[in-house]
């Protein structure tokens, strides 16, 4: 049974989950690409927890959170006397992940020296502790993530090309929240349950419409913080209205054409919800209408009113060719 903690029902999210499920069956290194706050660590954990190494630990390290020297000692371990303060022996995270998975977040922040050491782990399954003379055998699957374009880093001489190809046997792009706006209602409900589990407040239609219209440069992390803020400020009304949203979200509507009414904004949100229901039920209007609490005829009228159309599926051959072309061309996020 495929398990994950990724929230969303949009077509974009379903495509992401299908790729994760497929890749999780293997043990190849995976490079997870995406903007900050999109949930790259959730993808890594889903790959591990549904893979052949799930009985063993997943060990995570944020490569951008430590200095170069501290990062190397944490990652590869050290022997006594390797540096000032090294009073004993300590295995690194590579050894701690033996038979399991090592997740390196923000791998683009690794120093050149650390990159060379990591390449040895990938090429030969060996790790040498700082101050050590001989290698130690390790069996570890490496998942890595970055918000950078590593091909640009290679051109600037800041990232090893051979390491890049070792890390990126398969790549998974995590879409930004602005590309999966249809997931916002589900994400809002998820975070309301987290921060107000006893009595989750309702979200007024106008507030939800503004949340759906905002581009979310900070992605899911920014949305989570906004929901947490709204739960704190909504008071005793029992509902979250637009007045408790952050000014940047309330004022974003100022960029819409003058004369946009409340009804028009709600209609735009309604169109998003209807499309997501249709996508979820593969455009079976009877099932989608039942899920939305509408009659089938009412749903058909709304589909016509909003000009919604079912996306045309590519032919099987076309999908295979497109996928292979994408793999050859490198990361599309660059």
Higher-confidence position of 48 and 113: 48
* CB neighbours of residue 277 within 10 Å: 22
Label residue 44 by pLDDT band (50, 70, 90).
very high
Instruction: Please choose, from the candidates 229, 211, 280, 247, the residue with its C-alpha nearest in 3D space to the C-alpha of residue 10.
Output: 280
pLDDT tens track for 149-203: 999 999 999 999 999 999 999 999 999 999 898 899 999 999 999 999 988 999 9
What is the share, in percent, of the chain residues with pLDDT greater than 70? 85
Q: How far apart are CA 21 and CA 181, in angstroms?
A: 22
Q: Do 77 and 129 meet the contact criterion of CB atoms below 8 Å apart?
A: yes
* CB neighbours of residue 30 within 10 Å: 26
pLDDT at 80 over 90: no
Kindly provide the b/e burial profile for residues 79-96, where b requires at least 16 CB atoms within 10 angstroms of the residue's own CB: beebeeebeeebebbbbb
Identify the burial level of 126 via C-beta atoms within 10 angstroms of its C-beta, where 0-12 means exposed, 13-18 middle and 19 or more buried: middle
In the predicted model, what is the mean pLDDT of residues 106-117? 94
In the predicted model, what is the mean pLDDT of residues 10-33? 95
pLDDT at 131: 75
pLDDT at 326: 38
Label residue 325 by pLDDT band (50, 70, 90).
very low
pTM of the model: 0.76
Q: What is the DSSP string of 47-101?
A: HHHTSTTTTS-EEEEETTSS-HHHHHHHHHEE-TTSSTT--S-EE-HHHHTTTSE
Distance of CA 209 to the CA centre of its chain: 23
What is the share, in percent, of the chain residues with pLDDT greater than 90? 53
- The secondary structure of the chain in percent helix, strand, coil, rounded to multiples of 5, reads 50, 10, 35
User: How much is the mean pLDDT over the chain?
Assistant: 85
Sheet with 101-105, side-by-side order of all strands:
58-62, 101-105, 141-146, 30-33, 170-173
Q: How far apart are CA 118 and CA 113, in angstroms?
A: 9
**What domains does the chain contain, in order, with CATH numbers?**
11-175 (3.40.50.300), 178-280 (1.10.8.60)
Higher-confidence position of 275 and 143: 143
∠ Cα 314 319 321 (to 5°): 135
pLDDT at 254: 53
Q: What is the H or E stretch that residue 192 is in?
A: helix 184-195
Q: How far apart are CA 92 and CA 97, in angstroms?
A: 9
* CB neighbours of residue 219 within 10 Å: 21
Q: Do 104 and 96 meet the contact criterion of CB atoms below 8 Å apart?
A: no
Q: What is the H or E stretch that residue 202 is in?
A: strand 202-203
Instruction: Please choose, from the candidates 279, 218, 235, the residue with its C-alpha nearest in 3D space to the C-alpha of residue 39.
Output: 218
């Amino acid at each position: 049974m495929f398990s994950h903690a990724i929230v969303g029902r949009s077509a974009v999210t379903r495509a992401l989950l299908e790729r994760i499920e497929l890749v999780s069956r293997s043990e190849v290194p995976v490079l997870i690409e995406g903007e900050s706050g999109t949930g790259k660590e959730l993808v890594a954990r889903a790959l591990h927890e549904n893979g052949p190494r799930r009985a063993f630990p997943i060990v995570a390290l944020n490569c951008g959170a430590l200095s170069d020297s501290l990062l190397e000692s944490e990652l590869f371990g050290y022997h006594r006397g390797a540096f000032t303060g090294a009073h004993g022996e300590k295995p690194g995270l590579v050894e701690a992940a033996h038979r399991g998975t090592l997740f390196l977040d923000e791998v683009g922040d690794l120093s050149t020296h650390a990159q060379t050491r990591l390449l040895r782990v990938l090429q030969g399954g060996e790790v040498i502790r700082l101050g050590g003379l001989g290698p130690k055998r390790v069996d570890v699957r490496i998942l890595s993530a970055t918000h950078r374009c590593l091909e640009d880093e290679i051109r600037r001489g800041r990232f090893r090309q051979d390491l890049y190809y070792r890390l990126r046997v398969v790549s998974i792009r995590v879409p930004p929240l602005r590309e999966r706006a249809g997931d916002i209602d589900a994400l809002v409900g998820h975070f309301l349950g987290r921060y107000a589990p006893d009595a989750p407040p309702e979200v007024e239609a106008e507030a939800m419409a503004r949340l759906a219209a905002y581009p979310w440069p900070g992605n899911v992390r920014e949305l989570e913080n906004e929901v947490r803020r709204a739960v704190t400020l909504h008071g005793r009304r029992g509902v979250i209205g637009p007045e408790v949203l952050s000014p940047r979200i309330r004022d974003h509507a100022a960029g819409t054409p003058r004369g946009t009414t409340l009804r028009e904004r709600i209609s735009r949100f309604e169109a998003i919800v209807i499309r997501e229901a249709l996508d979820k039920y593969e455009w079976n209007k009877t099932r989608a209408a039942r899920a939305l609490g509408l009659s089938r005829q009412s749903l058909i009228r709304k589909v016509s009113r909003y000009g919604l159309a079912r996306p045309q599926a590519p032919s099987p051959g076309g999908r295979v060719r497109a996928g292979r072309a994408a793999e050859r061309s490198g990361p599309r996020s660059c």
